[in-house]
Structure 1
């Protein structure tokens, strides 16, 4: 390429922040076939960057380098992510359902909060400091009616938050009255209590719960519950092979509910309960 290939050794010229040419020997020209091969490789690397967290630079041989901005991997089907405040033990309903609060300042729908609610939250804090209980109660009603509430963050400061019920995607834990129902809930409490969670939201169910994958400090909560033998892979709604693999590991080792001679599936137990045969 005229004006580029003849640069001094080691000199790098950026091309719009994405492509640049690096020469190893002054004045050396790259054969057209080599340029074509580098271009094809560049396209492949750019395509792969959409699937992985790319490094800052890819180099093809000693001549062509591609600078790429790192991109976060987003699984197919994820609508958005929620980053929760610390989870309270009382927030765990059973082995597959958690109630969480999300700080609206870090929420994907933060722009949807009305000015009335924002103002009420600010004034509520002032009313509490002034110990004006009547004023604080009136402002709190405005906040609650708007679908929000004031919740303490990690520093003990009251922040405007929204409440969500989360259904762990792809697993079904024993109901509380079933064998290992109590153990499943206790294990989930032990795992998430006092922690902040990252939740990838895929959908909502007929009960108004958000359905998502839950990450607790780098640990997949679904994987944890399946490997502990405290949940079934809910194959009617999720066909991921890794969930079947984790469940099978617990089956083979007879961990948790798999120690039972014939463990009952939660969805079949619920069906019997609805028909009055439990």
Structure 2
């Protein structure tokens, strides 16, 4: 089968476009410095990379903070905002979730922000299966110290809250 020159050029152009789109798209294991521009809730924020580029929506990896309409949700958001809003942070994106958010390990002044939240009882270590998650020790310490929502035996894990109530209404 003989293909016309125009057809070959078209196929080559499409291949280059696809490769270019992949190269400029989100990358896993990406590390950069950024300024926090918005804190949406206790585990989701927006950053602007210092090197330039678009704003990026990130979720703190390894934790689950109360939903904004759940008891403790506004407190978690406000504490996170008080710690990092308008501050320069270091971001390491592990992967991207189904919503396009980067699951990120974020540090500010060399402190792990997710661990900081869990140690204050403002979020739970993210569990899967029988694994208690990466911040289980901080969660146990905050629970035994009576700190935050994790110390309340009646508190509902955010994923259970979302399952029962659906997403919180947008503000």
SS state of the match for residue 105, structure 2?
strand
**Superposed CA offset, 1:228-269 (max 9, x none):** 1000111128x5765110111111111001342311000000
What is the CA–CA distance in structure 1 between the aligned matches of 2:150 and 2:139, rounded to whole Å?
A: 10
Q: Secondary structure at the match of 2:54?
A: strand
Contact 2:124 2:139 in 1 (8 A): yes
Local SS of the residue matching 1:206? coil
1:95 to 21, 25, 42: 42
Which one scores higher on RCO, CA 8 angstroms, separation ≥ 6? Answer: 2
> What is aligned with 1:201?
93
Partner of 1:233: 125
Off by >2 Å, runs of 4+ in structure 1: 239-242, 258-261
Equivalent residue for 1:252? 144
Structure-2-length-normalised TM-score: 0.75
Partner of 1:263: 155
Instruction: Please name the residue that 2:14 is paired with.
Output: none
The superposition leaves residues 103-134 of structure 1 with CA deviations (integer Å, 9 ceiling, x where unpaired) of 3xx3xxxxxxxxxxxxxxxxxxxxxxxxxxxx
Which residue among 89, 95, 104 is the counterpart of 1:212? 104
The DSSP-based 3-state class of the residue aligned with 2:46 is strand
Deviation at 1:83, TM superposition (A): 0.9
Structure 1, residues 164-192: CA drift from partner, whole Å, max 9, x if none? Answer: 10010010000011111010000000110
Give 5+ residue unaligned stretches, structure 2. 1-27
Q: Which residue of 1 aligns with 2:25?
A: none
How many residues are paired up? 140
Distance 1:272 1:176 in 2: 15
Structure 1 residue 273, shift from structure 2 partner: 1.4
The CA distance in 1 between the partners of 2:36 and 2:163, in whole Å, is: 31
> TM-score scaled by structure 1?
0.47
SS of equivalent residue, structure 2 residue 118: helix
What is the aligned-residue RMSD (CA, Å)?
A: 2.1
2:33 matched residue in structure 1: 83
